[in-house]
Amino acid sequence: MDIFNVPSYNNSMNKKNSNRIQKKILLITSSVILAMGIIIAGASSYIYSKYLQNSLLQSTENNLRFLVESMENNLSNITQLTRWCQTNKTISEYVESGNREGSLLALAAHERLTEQYQSSGAANFIHRAVIANHEGDYIQIVSSSYSSTMNVAEMAPKQDYFDTLLNSHGFDFSYGILPDSFYRGNAKGIIPIVRPIMYKYNSTQGGW
């Protein structure tokens, strides 16, 4: 009886060992797959995070570049209009003669200034353009929201920034944004620009 039971016992042991080996293989395989999945998920998350970071950085750089270029273009339009006022023949003649030769010269200067102002890209940023001589004669272009009844030619030279900006060698924006002294309502921010206008046939400063 015992001799015939030995093969049956051995078969049973072999099956158990085989099941144990299969379970170990399955466990190892599952562990390897899980570890690979974690590694792949981590790597994918890192790569995606770096991609988003680089994309955000690139987008920010592009936006800043566009903003700087836009500001440079706007500033260029403003400085070009200012230089035009300093060198235009009609403006120089008005500054030198004022209203002493009647209103026709003032009208011609105002029309010429209006034409140049409206055709320039600075019209959206310069809300008040004033041409004045040292005798108190002046013409101006001002948007309705910045309009006032103040005598600009009288008030402007009294501002703290006036002489510094007038006598500076170039454009000086160091005063930054200041309240608009010529507006009676709620204070509006402005960046003042003051440049000299010379007489037509000599280098004497006739106005601003």
What does the DSSP 8-state code read for residue 158? Answer: G
Three-class DSSP category at 127: coil
Highest mean pLDDT among 67-71, 96-100, 111-115, 203-207: 111-115
- pLDDT tens, residue by residue, 45-99: 778 777 777 777 777 777 767 665 666 666 788 888 999 999 899 998 888 886 6
> How high does pLDDT run on average in the chain?
79
Taking the C-alpha atoms of residue 16 and residue 65, their distance in angstroms, rounded to an integer, is 72
Contact call for residues 162 and 55 (beta carbons, < 8 A): no
With bands split at pLDDT 50, 70 and 90, how would you rate the model's confidence at 167? very high
CA dihedral 54, 56, 60, 62 (to 10 degrees): 60
Contact call for residues 207 and 131 (beta carbons, < 8 A): yes
Percent of the chain residues topping a pLDDT of 90: 17
Q: Please tell me the pTM assigned to this model.
A: 0.64
Contact call for residues 155 and 120 (beta carbons, < 8 A): no
